[in-house]
Amino acid sequence: MKTKLLFAFLGIILSSCETKIKKEYITEPCPEKEEISTAQLKSSLTEKGFQIFDYVDEKTGDTILMQQYFIAFLKKGPTRSQSKEEADSLQKLHLAHLGRMYEKGFADISGPFGDDGDIRGITIYNVPTQKMADSLANMDPMVKAGRLSIEIRPWWAAKGFNLR
């Protein structure tokens, strides 16, 4: 049941046509994306404190803008002795927290791993600093309860590329 709810939640996020990002970020409506220049995007991201660099793709001649994101690895925490009711309640609060992070533009994608290993899932935070990503990740009710712990790593990706 929990897995079905989580995948339903992720499906909603991934199938959303419009990137719902607050005023401090760029809004890109679908299907007609508003075009802004690479220079404008670089300026906007730099002003907000994001780490970026760019390069020219030799094959296409396009300028590719790379941005630093932060991946939070959600690991099994030290306190996993909650009752089923407590764990279910924490799971609902956890999913609500991840939904808020997405809606506010702080997280771009979240999801569980498909095995029962120590690393339970990831969230990719779209924020300027690791300190901010750490703070947001540690607000998760599952983390507060000790059921999950967080490890955050910087990660670079091309701005505007979609999963496929």
Q: In order along the chain (164 residues), what is the average pLDDT of each group of 10 residues?
A: 44 41 44 75 94 94 94 96 96 97 95 94 97 97 97 95 80
For residue 37, what pLDDT is reported?
A: 85
For residue 68, what pLDDT is reported?
A: 97
Q: Report pTM.
A: 0.76
* CA-wise closest residue to 111 among 126, 103, 127, 99: 99
Please give the structure tokens belonging to residue 122. 């990831």
Show Cβ contacts of residue 117 under 8 Å, excluding neighbours closer than 6 positions: none
What are the chain's domains?
A: 2-27+68-158 (3.30.70.1060)
For residue 59, what pLDDT is reported?
A: 95
For residue 32, what pLDDT is reported?
A: 58
Give φ, ψ of 93 to 5 degrees. Answer: -65, -40
Q: Residue 57, exposed/middle/buried by CB under 10 A (0-12, 13-18, 19+)?
A: exposed
Query: How far apart (Å, rounded) are the C-alpha atoms in residues 21 and 19?
Result: 6
